[in-house]
Each structure stands twice: as C-alpha cells, then as structure tokens.
Amino acid sequence: MRLTQLNRECLLHLFSFLDKDSRRNLSLACRQLREVYLDPCLWNLLHFSSPCQLRWDNYVLGPSLRYLTICWYSSRVQLVCNIEDWLKTSFQKDICSKHESLVSTFLAHVCHM
C-alpha cells in the first residue's frame, strides 16, 4: 500500500507525529501530501527554538493554532542580546532590533489569523 492511498484522516494523523521540517519535506512529494500539509487542523501547536526560525517556510499559520512558543533566548541569541543595551556594540544592537522586529511582525500576523 502506498502512503497516498491512505485517507485524509490517516494522513493527518501520520503528519501529526512529524516535526515542522519533516512535514514540509514530505509535502513536497505530491499534491495530495501538500494538501494535508496545508490543512489548518495539523497546525494547532508551533514551537520555535529561535526567532530566526520564524522566517523558515516550514509551518502554516491558521485558525487552529492554540499553542505557540518562541524561545527568545536560544544560545545564539543569548550571546548577542542577553547583555545590557549600553554594553552592546552597534552590530549587536542591530541584530537584537531585527529579532524584535521579526517577532513583533510574526505576532501581529498571528493576531490577524
């Protein structure tokens, strides 16, 4: 039996066990799997381990979103942004500003969904 011979409910259930990247990669295989990937029911929980992950094309925002986490202080962000503003270089301030803007824009988009 092929994966695409399963009904939509079974495919949604299988997709629910995959992480964001695996879901996206599998969705590239065929149109039917892409439609399952785009189903809002699949995306009730989103976790991002860094603000830069908000730019990736491996998730779908929709009305089913019930739980969202964005780990602001990943190891990379922590090295740059977790110090007092007056101690930051202009480069560090620029990176922190971009992260803040990215997260704010993303959260505004989530509110409009």
Q: Read off the pLDDT of residues 84-101 as tens digits, 9 standing for 90 and up.
A: 777 777 877 787 787 778
pTM above 0.75, yes or no: no
Confidence of residue 41 (pLDDT cuts 50, 70, 90): very high
Higher model confidence: residue 32 or residue 86? 32
pLDDT at 76: 64
Pairwise CA distance, residues 13 & 36, whole Å: 10
pLDDT at 103: 82
* Lowest model confidence (mean pLDDT) among 28-37, 60-69, 100-109: 100-109
Higher model confidence: residue 74 or residue 104? 104
